[in-house]
């Protein structure tokens, strides 16, 4: 199977399995999505969705967030892990949004990535899901499946993102990245994967293991 045929089959299968792609992180606007994505680093979406209601009850906008102390934020988000760094980032980005962006989450990659704790992946999620900008955030599921499906041999998420953007039509990026995440969780996990039972690997084949480290 040629690579473009493989990509076509993968996209058709993902669309059949996941015609709807709800955003896994609960949020109400660009700011609450930004905070939720930041909290999701090395933490499950389910755990984040348990914690964010507690945080957003206290402060669901940057103006109210900076009225909390970093320590107060840290105590609330502690179950998400990395709470010292995340609490400082949440307070810091909220202060910058207030003082430099008139209380509104900026809508460019450059401005988002200049915020504390916001890397390219977090910015990509916000740009795609909050602002509708075509982007392809690469998380561990996407990196693993890009390797298994032989779509990208790279060890770096930056190159995986470039490879997938080259192979997948731009108008599919925002939806496909969520579909791949859903598929990775349900059918193509890191630990219990059975290629013969996987709806995609059983057809297109797959590399052994998860991804290069």
Q: At what angle do helices 157-167 and 140-148 cross, to 10 degrees?
A: 60
Considering 45, 139, 163, 165, which one is annotated as catalytic? 139
Task: Judge whether 139 counts as a catalytic residue.
Answer: yes
Among 73, 48, 45, 31, smallest CA distance to 141 is for: 45
- 21's CB contacts (< 8 A; 6+ apart) are 175, 178, 179, 182
- Is 171 an active-site residue? no
Residue for token pair 């013969």: 196
Phi-psi domain of 153 (left: phi exceeds 0; alpha: psi -120 through 50; beta: other): alpha
Is 146 exposed, middle or buried, given 0-12, 13-18 or 19+ CB atoms closer than 10 A? Answer: buried
Dihedral sign computed on CA atoms, order 61, 64, 69, 73: negative
Catalytic residue among 121, 155, 165, 171: 121
Give the chain's count of helices (H) and strands (E). Answer: 12, 0
Q: Which residues are catalytic?
A: 121, 139
């Amino acid at each position: 199977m040629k690579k473009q045929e493989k990509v076509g089959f993968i996209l058709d299968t993902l669309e059949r399995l996941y015609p709807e792609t709800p955003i896994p992180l609960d949020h109400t606007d660009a700011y609450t999505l930004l905070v939720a994505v930041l909290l999701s680093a090395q933490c499950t979406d389910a755990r984040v969705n348990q914690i964010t209601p507690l945080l957003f009850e206290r402060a669901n906008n940057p103006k109210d967030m900076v009225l909390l102390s970093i320590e107060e934020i840290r105590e609330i988000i502690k179950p998400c892990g990395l709470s010292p760094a995340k609490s400082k980032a949440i307070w810091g980005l909220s202060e910058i949004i207030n003082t430099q962006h008139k209380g509104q989450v900026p809508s460019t990659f450059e401005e988002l990535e200049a915020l504390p704790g916001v890397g390219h992946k977090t910015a990509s999620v916000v740009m795609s899901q909050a602002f509708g900008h075509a982007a392809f955030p690469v998380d561990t599921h996407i990196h693993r499946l890009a390797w298994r499906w032989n779509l990208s041999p790279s060890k770096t998420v930056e190159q995986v993102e470039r490879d997938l953007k080259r192979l997948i039509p731009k108008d599919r990026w925002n939806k496909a990245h969520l579909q791949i995440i859903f598929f990775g969780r349900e059918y193509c996990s890191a630990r219990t994967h059975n290629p013969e039972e996987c709806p995609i690997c059983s057809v297109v084949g797959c590399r052994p293991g998860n991804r290069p480290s």
